């Protein structure tokens, strides 16, 4: 029996939350008819964390206790289509998702928050900051920038030896097929992604992978995750209508793809904000929140003050 066939007992979100130092609890709130799952702990100024694909709030479990211990209310929310949150038929463009997160912030009673996101979560965090400036104190974007027209230039085939090929950008565009192929088999995708985009594969261990696979192992969850990619065209149109983000921006980026990610963020973010700093995370891949958690803790503690 291989690791994908082996059964791994997956704790509930409530059990996972309670396993963390800092009195974290799993809860839900309904916003615009959508039931959103979130995990919160600590006390102080609010810091909203938004995960990426193919993950859930658990992506941040290594950094949540330390960020809370520094005097924050740390709140990690599963995006629409993710984990314990609802998976609507539409509404996966980043502007709409940012509006949902804005409603989430208001539902929790906050007027202004710090916000950070990784991967798809970074795209939503950027959209939150640019569309809801009054609600944004500071924003951190981890490894991914908002979709722009450069996505249309990604070739279908790359030459041998090319360092990075985001094949899932196109795969997730195909309506219905990802659900047919991955339902009940999400662990294959989860293992491939982490085995290829971590420098230390053990940084996302068997339990972590089981948690993510469990939450992406059904048709609705796969459809929701694909929806984030299928709306890139609308995201690109929306980007053309935006001005600059006025809140301070921290960009954290890996050297994945022989530095391609870092070069993209360093070239893009300074043109999208009025106060921007970009930090390259050394010796870690795309999932550096789990691979280099201390780097994230240190940078966030310096930035979100």
Average confidence score pLDDT of the chain? 95
- pLDDT number for residue 266: 96
- pLDDT number for residue 2: 43
Contacts of 66 (CB under 8 A, 6+ apart): 293, 297, 301
Tell me the three state secondary structure of residue 252. Answer: strand
151: which DSSP letter?
A: G
> What is the value of pTM for the model shown?
0.96
Over residues 120-173, the pLDDT tens digits come to 999 999 999 999 999 999 999 999 999 999 999 998 888 888 878 899 999 999
Do the beta carbons of residue 8 and residue 47 sit within 8 Å? no
Separation between Cα atoms, residue 127 and residue 133, nearest integer Å: 10
Helices (H), the chain: 13-18, 64-69, 94-107, 120-131, 167-171, 177-182, 186-197, 206-215, 219-230, 232-239, 260-268, 288-291, 293-303
Strands 25-31 and 34-41: antiparallel
Average confidence (pLDDT) over 193-209: 96
For the chain, give the percent of residues with pLDDT over 90: 90
pLDDT of residue 106 exceeding 90, the answer is yes
Separation between Cα atoms, residue 240 and residue 139, nearest integer Å: 20
Comparing CA positions, the residue from 260, 300, 281 lying closest to residue 200 is: 281
Tell me the three state secondary structure of residue 173. Answer: coil
At residue 7 the predicted structure's pLDDT band, cuts being 50, 70 and 90, is low
- pLDDT number for residue 162: 82
Do the beta carbons of residue 279 and residue 188 sit within 8 Å? no
- pLDDT number for residue 188: 98
Separation between Cα atoms, residue 94 and residue 66, nearest integer Å: 29
Average confidence (pLDDT) over 49-70: 98
Comparing CA positions, the residue from 135, 179, 142 lying closest to residue 50 is: 142
Domains and CATH numbers, the chain: 14-303 (3.40.50.1820)
pLDDT of residue 40 exceeding 90, the answer is yes
Average confidence (pLDDT) over 192-218: 97
Separation between Cα atoms, residue 154 and residue 142, nearest integer Å: 21
Separation between Cα atoms, residue 89 and residue 91, nearest integer Å: 7
Tell me the three state secondary structure of residue 289. Answer: helix
- pLDDT number for residue 177: 97
Contacts of 247 (CB under 8 A, 6+ apart): 129, 133, 136, 137, 138, 139, 273, 275
pLDDT of residue 182 exceeding 90, the answer is yes
Integer angstrom CA distances of residue 125 from 15, 86, 159, 301: 27, 19, 34, 18
pLDDT of residue 4 exceeding 70, the answer is no
DSSP code string of 30-86: EETTEEEEEEEE--SEEEEEE--TT--GGGGTTTHHHHHHTTEEEEEEPPTTSTTS-
**CB 302: neighbour CB atoms within 10 A?**
11
- pLDDT number for residue 6: 46
């Amino acid at each position: 029996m291989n690791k994908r066939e082996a059964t791994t007992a997956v704790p509930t979100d409530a059990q996972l939350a309670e396993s963390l130092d800092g009195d974290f609890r799993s809860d839900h709130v309904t916003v615009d008819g959508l039931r959103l799952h979130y995990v919160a702990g600590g006390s102080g100024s609010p810091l909203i964390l938004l995960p990426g694909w193919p993950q859930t709030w658990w992506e941040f479990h290594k950094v949540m206790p330390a960020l809370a211990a520094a005097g924050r209310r740390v709140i990690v929310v599963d995006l629409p289509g993710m984990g314990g949150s609802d998976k609507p038929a539409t509404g996966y463009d980043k502007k709409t998702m940012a509006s949902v997160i804005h409603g989430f912030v208001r539902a929790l009673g906050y007027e202004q928050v710090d916000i950070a996101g990784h991967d798809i979560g970074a795209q939503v965090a950027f959209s939150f900051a640019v569309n809801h400036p009054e609600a944004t104190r500071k924003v951190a974007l981890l490894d991914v920038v908002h979709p722009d027209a450069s996505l249309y230039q990604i070739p279908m085939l790359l030459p041998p030896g090319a360092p990075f090929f985001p094949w899932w950008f196109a795969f997730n565009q195909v309506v219905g097929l990802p659900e047919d192929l991955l339902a009940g088999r999400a662990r294959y995708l989860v293992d491939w992604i982490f085995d290829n985009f971590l420098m230390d594969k053990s940084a996302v261990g068997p339990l972590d992978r089981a948690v993510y696979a469990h939450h992406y192992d059904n048709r609705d969850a796969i459809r929701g995750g694909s929806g984030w990619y299928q709306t890139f065209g609308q995201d690109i149109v929306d980007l053309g209508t935006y001005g600059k983000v006025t809140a301070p921006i921290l960009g954290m980026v890996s050297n994945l793809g022989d530095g391609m990610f870092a070069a993209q963020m360093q070239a893009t973010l300074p043109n999208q904000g009025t106060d921007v700093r970009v930090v390259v995370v050394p010796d870690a891949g795309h999932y550096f929140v789990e691979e280099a958690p201390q780097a994230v803790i240190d940078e966030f503690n310096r930035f979100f003050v």
